[in-house]
Amino acid sequence: MLAAEDSDVLNKINTNLAVIRKILEIQARDSITKELNKLASTPERRKMWILSNGNLSTEQIAKRAGVKTDRSVQYFTKDAVKAGLLDFKKRGYPIRLVDFIPADWEESESLDKDALSTGESASPELLPPTANTSLTTQSPSTSSLQAAETHESA
């Protein structure tokens, strides 16, 4: 078991890494957006990207993205893994390595409306909380991340 001191040090390291990651995501935003737009070139593929949160299987993603078979999702995930943008949390459950959804993608709104029309609750982890921001919520220090974003927009 970790001592309280060790736990505090690990928490500080985690916070600092989260801030560094956020800064790097901000700096690489244009490149990431270009790569994502090449990969997710159709509305269905954009939905597949949004739904690749590690909690849904390729079969579930296919259903929610509106594609006929999960084979389409498997092709998409293969391309995304090759591009270094996706990995698998466990077999058949793709997860974004770059936790970013471009603000101009209207598919996130349609996924939210679909969830509401079918009686499902809209999953906040699938949708961007604000325009052009990371969906990463694992950082214990959001104020540091907001400071990084504020600095970037200045």
Assigned domain for 133 exists? yes
Domain that holds residue 103: 13-148
Q: What DSSP element (H or E) covers 44?
A: helix 43-51
In 3D, which of 119, 125, 147, 126 has the Cα closest to residue 137? 125
Assigned domain for 109 exists? yes
Structure token pair of residue 68: 């006929």
Residues 68, 40, 137, 117, Cα dihedral to 10°? -40
**Average pLDDT for consecutive 10-residue bins of the chain (154 residues)?**
85 95 88 92 95 93 92 95 93 91 84 56 43 36 39 45
Q: Indicate the pTM of the whole model.
A: 0.66
Assigned domain for 128 exists? yes
Assigned domain for 3 exists? no
In 3D, which of 70, 20, 25 has the Cα closest to residue 44? 70
Assigned domain for 71 exists? yes
The predicted structure's pLDDT at residue 63: 93
The predicted structure's pLDDT at residue 74: 94
